[in-house]
Structure 1
Amino acid sequence: MKEALFLRLRKRLAVKPEAIITLGDICQIYWDGEREEAIKRMPIYRVEPSDGNLIIIDIMQVIQRLRQVYPEADLDIQGAPQIIVEVQNPRKQANPLLVAIVWLVLFIGSGLAIMNFHTDVSMPQVHQRIFYLLTGQKNQHPLWLQIPYSIGIGLGMILFFNHIFKKKINEEPSPLEVELFMYQQNLDQYYIQNENKENQRTKT
């Protein structure tokens, strides 16, 4: 009885320009003994400059290539029908001046957003009212309420985003990371559904 060749396409792969993509790069493989190691080195696709930054490899390309070499193999295909290959071109070094400008704009914008929110909900009057209820005295600037409140906003943002600069507080993903993950999934689905025909070719 022939042992089946089990294949499961990975979801995403990052390669360098003009790389040769092998079956082991894009698939999890289970077969018998030496043939499994040999089949992992089988070339499936060669990245060309005209491919751009993203390539979609379909499982049918893999099956076609396998049938050329192992026509008798009993294939058992599992998982997703396509894999997205990202071509990682060398990144340009960020301009420090541009980074500083973007940081300044975001800092001012977020600060204005917080201040506008506090103005809309009359936060100064709320603090004054709380101070009066607790002490029985009127104070236009109840700093012992306002200062801890301001510090609490900063600490709350750190806990919410689960980051202190580049260091994570714990292993739980932050809401921003979850949103980025969902955005990436939607983006990948868009690429798959709008697959370019020129990326359907198989490189040997």
Structure 2
Amino acid sequence: MSNNKVYIKLEKKVSITSDTNVKISDIAKVIADEVLKREIEEINIYEIGKQKKSLHSVDIVDVIKKIRNVHPEVDIESIGEKDIVIEYLNGEKKPSSMWEFIKVAFVCLIIFFGASVAIMTFHTDVAMPEVHQKIYKMFTGNSIDKPYIIQIPYSIGLAVGIIVFFNHFWLKFENSPTPLEVEIDKYQDELYKCTVEKIKKRNIG
């Protein structure tokens, strides 16, 4: 590696808790000659300011300018994100584990009962009990109101099908991401882009 070659990889988001002066080492990974790397990592890149708003952003152009002011001779190449979101926590206390557990349990209950109602209303709309009765009569020639021999396997199969499709419980057949994880990643990417744009508009205004 050339002694004046520097690779910079910005993270997508970092959290700052104590120091209001943000250094390059706080927001990026630096690949360079060891001495040069330490000097670059100590460069102050951003100051939170007196307002101490919770969200800030820095783009790679600002990082390159700061480095060039100190080391004009270096050749800089960006291999990471174009922007980084800096979250200033301002010494906020971490919520208690009990409160976090209560919130998670509450959300799980809402999702469980909401999904249960959705499944039941769907089965009512498509007249699933009548379908089971007709299937039972088709194979046995008899008519009964509650063909449990069909309904019980159907209910078990419905639960197993959901588990296999989302692949997110104790059954882990492969290392590929689940559909839910893919959607979460998409949401996080869109949230990152929206946050950066919002901060830039706020700074311009």
Aligned to 2:93: 90
Gaps of 5+ in 2: none
1:187 matched to 2:188? The reply is no
Secondary structure in structure 2 of the residue aligned to 1:8: strand
Could you tell me how far apart the structure 1 residues matched to 2:104 and 2:31 are? 47
CA contact 2:55–2:199 (8 Å) conserved in 1: no
CA distance in 1, matches of 2:85, 2:70: 24
Match of residue 176, structure 2, among 158, 172, 177: 172
* Structure 2: distance between partners of 1:57 and 1:16: 17
- The equivalent residue for 2:168 is 163
Task: Tell me the amino acid that sits aligned with residue 171 of structure 1.
Answer: N
Identity %: 34
- Deviation string, structure 1 residues 19-59 (Cα, Å, up to 9, x no partner): 65332332232322421233223332344573433221112
Instruction: Kindly indicate whether residue 119 of structure 2 is the aligned counterpart of residue 144 of structure 1.
Output: no
Tell me the TM-score normalized by structure 1.
0.79
- Return the letter of the residue paired with 1:90: K
Higher deviation after alignment, 30-39 or 137-146: 30-39
Higher relative contact order (CA 8 A, sep 6+): 1
AA at the equivalent of 1:58: D
Give distance in 1, aligned partners of 2:103 and 2:77. Answer: 51
CA distance in 2, matches of 1:58, 1:44: 10
**Unaligned 5+ residue runs, structure 1?**
none
**RMSD across aligned positions (CA):** 2.9
8 Å CA contact 2:21, 2:47 repeated in 1: yes
Given the superposition, is the C-alpha separation of residues 115 and 21 from structure 1 closer, same or farther in structure 2, using an over 3 Å criterion?
same
Alignment TM-score, normalising by the size of structure 2: 0.79
8 Å CA contact 1:18, 1:48 repeated in 2? no
Q: Does 1:124 align with 2:125?
A: no
Offset at residue 123 of structure 1 (A):
0.6
Which residue of structure 2 lines up, in the alignment, with residue 133 of structure 1? Answer: 138
Change (3 A) 1:2 1:113: closer
Question: What is the number of equivalent residue pairs in this alignment?
Answer: 198
What is the alpha-carbon distance in structure 2 between the residues aligned to residue 49 and residue 194 of structure 1? 20
Distance, in Å, in 2 between the alignment partners of 1:101 and 1:62 is 43
Any conservation in 1 of the 2:4–2:73 contact (CA below 8 Å)? Answer: no
Q: What is aligned with 1:22?
A: 23
